[in-house]
Amino acid sequence: MKTLIFVLGLGTSCVQDKPLDNLTETGATEQAPAEKPDEPVGVIPAADCQQVDIGDKACNFKLLDQNGDVWELYDHEGSVILLDFSTMWCPPCQAAAHYMQPLQDDYAAAGVQIVTVLIDSLSYGQAPSEVDVDDWTNMHNITTAPVLQASRELMLDNAAIEGYSIGGYPTYIYINRNMEFYSGHAGYNDEYVRRTIEEGLNL
């Protein structure tokens, strides 16, 4: 099976203390504990999903969006999904964020969902607040592309047990209509991102 390798050199990115890895395996053998229906719980490990190779099924996750609503990945099965993992302290993330709403505007009718997963606030390692998410959407004129209030605890796992292993920001992960990974890279290049979205639409 082809391993998901991030394409580097598409633009500058912020590197954290761990080098960029493949997506991390999340194929836990038992379901996560039951949660309240509308509780944002981050990544939900399950036996039928893992996040290592091209073609692997993405694990579901739930997070609050900029409107205070719970956004759930599996609610968008049937769409091509672009996950943008960004932090507020990262200048390349801030520069790339201006492209998220135009991408959503251009591809919404084709069934594409652009989603920003905001991992850190302006302070490294500190989870963003509701105010931070609101500031991010306002700064970058985001109206219909969800911006999710995440955290390292809810979404990342460098121990390769569950969650995503992200070594640089911004990182983009592409999911096809069957909730399977088909591409991923660090750094933003508008032409490359659009080409990769269109690849997903033609799968």
- Cβ proximity of 203 and 183 under 8 Å: no
What pTM did the predictor assign?
0.82
Confirm whether 98 is domain-assigned. Answer: yes
In a domain, 80, yes or no: yes
- Residue 149 within a domain: yes
In a domain, 39, yes or no: no
Q: What is the pLDDT of residue 39?
A: 67
For each successive 10 residues of the chain (203 residues), what is the average pLDDT? 46 53 35 50 80 81 95 96 97 97 98 98 95 97 97 78 81 95 94 97 91
In a domain, 114, yes or no: yes
pLDDT at residue 161 in the model: 55
- Can you read off the two tokens belonging to residue 80? 């091509």
Q: Quote the pLDDT of residue 166.
A: 83
Residue 99 lies in a domain: yes
CB-facing half-sphere around the CA of 81: CA atoms within 13 A: 25
pLDDT of residue 160: 41
CA separation (Å) from 177 to 1, 80, 111?
20, 5, 9
Domain that holds residue 191: 51-201
Residue 18 lies in a domain: no
**Within a domain: 27:** no
How many domains are there within the chain? 1
Contact 157, 165 (CB under 8 A): yes
Distance CA 155, CA 71 (A): 14
CATH at residue 186: 3.40.30.10
The rounded radius of gyration (Å) of the Cα atoms in the chain is 15
Residue with tokens 């931070």: 132
pLDDT reported for residue 92: 97
